[in-house]
Structure formats: C-alpha cells, structure tokens
Structure 1
Amino acid sequence: MVTSNGYVLDESPRRLGELRPVPDAEREDRGALWERLRRDGYLWLRGALDPGAVREFRRFYFAHVDPELPRGEQRAALFGRVVPGPEYAAFCTQPAVRDWYAWFLGGETFLHRRRILRHTRPGEAGVGTATQAHYDLVYLREGTDRVLSSWIPLGDCPVELGGLVYLEGSHVRVLAEEAAGTLKRPAASLTADLPALAREYDARWLLADYAAGDMVVHSAHMVHASLDNTAAGYRLSTDIRYQRADEPIDWRWQEHWHDLDGL
C-alpha cells in the first residue's frame, strides 16, 4: 500500500506508474535531454553524483541534526549550523551538479541560496507529514519560469522510505493554464489528496526506488509530491534550484532557507 499524507494511492495502471530514468545513450546528448525534459517534465539521472559523497554528507547531517533530540535543538542545529554551513554549500556546488547545469543550460549559472533539506521519521503518516502536491513556480514568481529544480535523495530511497512522485504530463496542463492566466493561485500547495488530483488530471503518479547518487531535475511547472515514510529508517533529501545567470532571479530566494521565512 502506497500512501501520501495518509491518503492511499490508487495502484491501478491508469493511476500509478514508474518514473523512467534517462537512458545511457542520451546522457551526453544535450538536445535529447532538452527534448525529454520538455516532453516528460523531468530528468531522472541515475548515478549523477558520487554515492560516497552523498553518504558522507548524510553522515554529516545526522551528526549535527540528531532526530532524537528535542525539536528546538534540532531546528537550532539545522538552521544555525547545517543550512548556512560550508559543507552544505560545497555539496550543492560540487562539480557533478554545478558543471552539469553549466553544460545543460549552455551558459553561466546561478544557484539560489534558499536550499532545502528535509528528513522524515520512520512511520510518519497523516496530513502534514509528506510534501503535498505542488509545482515550484507558485513559489518562484519573481524570477524566470525557466528555473530548474534538482531533487537529490541523500542516501538510498526506496518507495517505502517516501521519495518524490511526479504527476505524469502535469507540466503540459500547468503550462497551458499559466499561459491562459487561469491559475491564479497563492503560493501554496495544490492538495494533500494525491488520489483525487490524479483523477482530476486523469493521470498517473510516477514513483521510483532511488539510490544514493541519483538526481532528478524537474521543470518549475511539473506537479510533484512525496510519499509517506513507512520504512524503518530516516528519509533525508535536499532540493536546490539552478538557472541561467542572465535571466531574471527571484530576489526572495537569496537568503538561507528557514522554515519561518514565509516562502
């Protein structure tokens, strides 16, 4: 049984499918990757990062943000030490990420300073525990809509650990409705009810077993969410955003992430 915020996903073939990784033959073909991104709304790049570097950063994170400590102490360590620290900055700008974006975007790149780290405890479920369905542009309206997000699982992340799921083809509908001006939503999630959203879009949620070293790049228009963590371990991930430096930049995203920053 696959759940998100306590809602049970419909596992019929019309409503649930598998994320497709980029084939090896396309990994160094920028034109093919852009075609795939425009068509699918995402690029699942298996093994894009060194798994050893990913696991080392995971160890660093949990050495400072102990999930067994009181929440106040966790938050102090997360927002006072880890988020603004040089280790996190180095991880997000490592050549495997920074150089890939420079190549893919074809010019000088810009990394938004507001970078997010999330961990969920084993067995967490119910509304408010998993990331609700949304697309990133609703939070990034002051800059270009060509900003790209990287979601990076910090460690192996099988389905039961609660990784990201993507609503198949949703970027096409969102792009059309954005262009028509019919999506005048506030900066908020669409819904926690993933089964209902799949029915509304007549689409499938796409899920995957991710491994340390994987990176998923997705469009700012692609609807995505996370699953509940029903496993025995902690799920840890980060999401960061790159764009071309010569395109408009959302000034609100140029401070370190904090859960009280209002974004």
Structure 2
Amino acid sequence: MLTSNGYVLDERTDRLGSLAETPETERHDREALWERLRAQGYLLLRQQLPRDQVLAFRDFYFSALAGTGLLDDRTHPSEGIAGTGPSDTATYRQVLFDEIVPSREYQEFCTSPAIGGWFRWLLDADVHLHRRKILRHTRPGENGIGTATQAHYDLVYLREGTDRVLSMWIPLGDCPTTLGGLTYLEGTHHAVMAAEREGRLKRPAASITADLPSLADEYDSRWLVADYGIGDVMVHSAHLIHAALDNVDAGGRMRLSTDIRYQRISEPIDWRWQEHWHDRDGL
C-alpha cells in the first residue's frame, strides 16, 4: 500500500503504474533523450552518478548533523537511521543552512561531470545552475498532511525566468517506494503546458493538493512510481506534476535527496533562485 501525506494511492492499473527507464541505447543520443523528455516529461536515468560520489556526499551530510539528535547515535551517521528522542532543532538548522547548503562539497557534487557536464551536453550550450539547491530528509512514520511533498509542478515557483528550466531530483542513497521517493502524474505536462500557454492556469506559488488519488481522477491519469537506487536520477520538466510518497521504512531509515535546477545561461533566469536555499526564503 502506497501513501502520500496519509492518502492511500489507488492501485488500479489506470491510476498507478511504473516509471519508464531510459534505455541504454538512448543514453548517449541527445535527440532521442529530447524526444523522450518531450513525450514523457521526465527521464529516469539509472546509475547516472558514480556510486562513490553519492555515498561520499551522503556521509558528509549526515556526519555534519551527528550530535543534533536527528540520528540514532548507536549507528554510523551515513546509515541515516532516525533518532528516537528529541532533536536540537536550532543546531540542526544552523548546520544545515550555514554549513551544508553553502558548502564546497555540495557545490562540487552538483557541478560534477555526471551532473553539470551532462546538462551542458544535453542542452548543448553554456548552462546555469540555480544557487537555490534543496536538500531534504524525511523521517519514517510521518504521514499527515504536510509531511511529504505535495502535488505541484515546478514552474509555479520559477515564473520569473524561462519555462524551459530542467529539474534533477537525486536520491542520496537507495530509495525504494517504502522510503518515500518521488511519484509523477503521467502525461500532465502536456495539459499544464497548454493551460499555461493559453493563460488559463496562472497558479500561485503553492502546492496543488495533498490528495493524490483525487488529482489522478481529475486528470484521468496514473501516478508513476519506481524503486530508485544509488546513482539513479530523475530529470523532469517544470510542467510535470509530481509529489512524494510517505516514508514507511520499517528499519527507521530516513530518505535523503536533493533537487537542483539547470538551464541554458542565455535564457531568462529567475533572480529569486540565485541565493542559497533557506526554508524561510519565501519560495
């Protein structure tokens, strides 16, 4: 049973399906990737990143937060096992926003050849990485409204720049559906693009809903899911509706992920996204 913010996803075949992996034969074919991206609104790229690179950054993140009570101190920080007692929220926020987010390690991870170099190749141009890069961990057992990312599409948060910005969501560790990975509402980028183009859908910078089953009914579409492995990434259009599943991991593991955004440097850039991420930055 899959849930998001406590809502149980409809498992009928016309409401739930699997994400399509990008076949190896297309991985080095730029035109084939663009054709797939335009058709699907996303690319699921298996083992796009070196395993050691992902694990090293995961270790950096969780080790920096050791001692805040966030983690079970009986385990190694890189395991990401949630602590069971109270956490020091003030210290956690200070470490996250003052040390981890602006760190050289985070910047180098997001501009590495498998990420920054790949975007330069795909976009066939000089590229711009938005400075506002988001890191999230979700604890197991939290399933009320607001605990998982609600349904939205990224353009509502990026209206001051190009609508051709691309997002990359990176699970920083193995992420089966039980750990709360992203899910995508199949084909919705076509409807959203049409409505945006015609001026019928000027949505505010806010989520659409936490009720994923009802949204699937509204669009007569399927939520697509996958088990993600270390090194896998999702690249998606700013128009594709997506959300996160609840973390129901029985072993107490937290889901850790980052989402970043690249675009051609020659296209309009949303100036609001050019400062380091903070959860009180109003975006």
TM-score tier, shorter chain, comes to over 0.9
> Which residue is equivalent to 1:152?
170
Q: Give the AA of the match of 2:53.
A: A
Shift of 1:253: 0.2
Aligned residue among 80, 93, 100 for 2:118? 100
Higher alpha-carbon deviation: 146-155 or 180-189: 180-189
Instruction: Verify: 1:172 aligned to 2:190, yes or no.
Output: yes
Structure 1: 5+ residue stretches without partners = none
How many positions carry a matched residue from both structures?
A: 263
TM-score (norm 1): 0.99
Q: Which residue of 2 aligns with 1:219?
A: 237
Aligned residue number for residue 246 of structure 1: 266
Over aligned residues, Cα RMSD in angstroms? 0.7
SS in structure 1 of the partner of residue 228 of structure 2: coil
Provide the residue aligned with 1:137 in structure 2: 155
1:54-112: CA deviations, max 9, x gaps? 01111110011242432221111100100011110011001110111001001100000
Which residue of 2 is the match for residue 72 of structure 1?
90
Offset, 1:197: 0.3
CA distance in 2, matches of 1:123, 1:50: 30
Provide TM-score, normalisation by structure 2.
0.92
Counterpart in the other structure of 1:235:
255
- Structure 1 residues 182-211: Cα deviation after superposition (integer angstroms, max 9, x where no partner): 112110000000000000000000000000
User: Superposition pairs for residues 1-263 of structure 1, below 5 Å?
Assistant: 1-66=1-66, 67-68=70-71, 69-231=87-249, 232=251, 233-263=253-283
2:142, 2:181 → 1: CA distance? 13
- What letter corresponds to residue 130 of structure 1 in structure 2? A
1:19-40 Cα deviation digits (max 9, x unpaired):
0110000001100000000000
How many Å separate the matches in 1 of 2:198 and 2:213? 26
CA distance in 2, matches of 1:180, 1:209: 36
2:77 matched residue in structure 1: none
- For residues 74 and 256 of structure 1, what CA distance do their matches in structure 2 show? 17
Amino acid at match of 2:189: H
Q: Structure 1 segments of 4 or more deviating over 2 A? A: none
Letter in 1 for 2:277: W
Displacement of 1:122 after TM fit?
Answer: 1.6
The CA distance in 1 between the partners of 2:146 and 2:264, in whole Å, is: 33
- The percentage of aligned residue pairs carrying the same residue is 65
Distance 1:188 1:154 in 2: 26
Structure 2 residue matching 1:216: 3-state secondary structure = strand
Give the partner amino acid of 1:160: T
Partner secondary structure for residue 261 of structure 2: strand
